[in-house]
Amino acid sequence: MNTLSSPAHDTALHSYQGNDGATSDALSTSTSLMAVRNLHKWYSGVHALKGVSLDFKRGEVVGLLGDNGAGKSTLIKILSGVHRPDEGEILFQGRPVRIPTPKAAMQLGIETIHQNNSLVPNLSIARNLFIGREPLLFSLFGIGPMDHARMRTDAVKAIADVDLHLRSAEALLGELSGGQRQGVAIARAMHFKSKLLILDEPTNHLSVKETDKVIGFVRGLSAQGITGVFISHNLQHVFHSCDRIVAMARGEVVLDRPVAQTSIEEVTEML
């Protein structure tokens, strides 16, 4: 069995040898940002992922679909460093990687935005953009006063870059609508030069106007050269914003096609 367990560390690149003795780089194309090969995951005897293999191309937005228990959440947790696969390998920019923690995923350039987006309502927009990555005026052993002026300046630019019109970067996040909060989360990912952005049900519980705004953000990822993975139960939203559709069922990929080569009816039948 080809395991991925390893000692705890933040992130690591390894010259991994496949079963045939060849390096895994040959498995990845020049346009592929990230690839997974033959991923398996078990939970207490339940086979949650059954040999999943996928490529995520640079600047492509992939819609990841599936009913509850299909395996999509398990796959996303592996890509974002929450869980580790029991078998298989992950390639990032053509090189085998292990992603043991969410911090390791962030160091690689993988950012995950959940439907609750992990933001803090009673902090300012600027503070939320830099949670866990605050710039310091100076540091002693990694500790020092935060550079609030830089956070404000960078926050203004970051929210402008995603065409988000807000009163002030000093406004409390709790004053924003759901769609605006998702915009702040996307602005944060872009500011820190994320290469792969995973959006987990970003349009849940949003109004029609706010949903349109978030879909606009998703559509704009390709122009920024960012690869997106858009998870949603709403097929209309996925078809309107993605380049490719991947459908999962019972832990396996059952469909993987460009949007132009499939339909909502076909995907519904596969799920």
Taking only the tens place, the pLDDT of each residue in 198-212 is 999 888 877 888 888
pLDDT of residue 117: 65
H helix runs in the chain, sequence order: 72-79, 102-108, 125-129, 148-161, 178-191, 208-219, 235-241, 264-270
Low-confidence ranges of the chain (pLDDT < 70): 1-30, 115-117
Length of the chain: 271
Tell me the pTM. 0.79
pLDDT of residue 183: 84
Helix axes 178-191, 208-219, angle to 10 degrees: 10
pLDDT of residue 93: 93
pLDDT of residue 29: 45
For 197, the enclosing helix (H) or strand (E) is strand 196-200
Nearest to 246 by CA among 210, 225, 224, 270: 270
